[in-house]
Copies of this chain bind each other. A is one copy, B any other.
């Protein structure tokens, strides 16, 4: 590629993904507002609805977020009544996150979020699945040290 071409905005895959991520988040905003959640809070609840009683570290590996982001976010979710935060008795360094009854009730209201959002994109489902697979592949190739296959407890 020519010298100047390499620095053009339209040729940056990073910018395409970065801009796309923010535009999609904006798409979620009005839908999630009805649930009283922000986008990141919603993503965290998705992870917790799937798998409960996990440590901050485990949740962070799942979401690619660190304690600097998760600690205030989980405190907020706790203040909203959707999760409980309690130290692990057998290892006081760890904090276990548990979804409350209200948190599980919220899931019922969340079931139609995905469809509400994606009827706004106007893209066929097949296209979206393909994009998701390519993104997942790209994350994997960036993040190779991903060999903690969530041991069944």
Where the two chains meet, the residues of A that have a C-beta atom closer than 8 Å to any C-beta of B are: 3, 6-25, 27-28, 39, 43, 46-47, 49-50, 62-64, 107, 110-111, 113-115, 117-118, 120-123, 127-132, 134-139, 141-143
Contacts and interface: CB of A to CB of B under 8 A. Distances in A.
Given A12-B46, A49-B7, A142-B27, A20 B135 contact: yes
B62 A111 contact: no
Contact of A19 (B11, B63, B111): B63
A25 B19 CA distance: 12
A64 to B, nearest CB: 5
Identical chains bound together, number: 2
A131 B134 contact: yes
A-side binding surface: helix, strand, loop or mixed?
helix
A10 B135 CA distance: 11
A114 B3 CA distance: 11
A123 B137 CA distance: 9
Nearest to A27: B142
B115 A138 contact: no
Contact of A23 (B107, B115, B143): B143
B49 A139 contact: no
A49 B7 CA distance: 9
Most central of A20, A24, A63, A114 by chain B CB within 10 Å: A20
**What are the 3 tightest A-B residue pairs by CB atom distance, in nearest-first order?**
A16-B135, A21-B21, A13-B132
B117 A141 contact: no
B16 A136 contact: yes
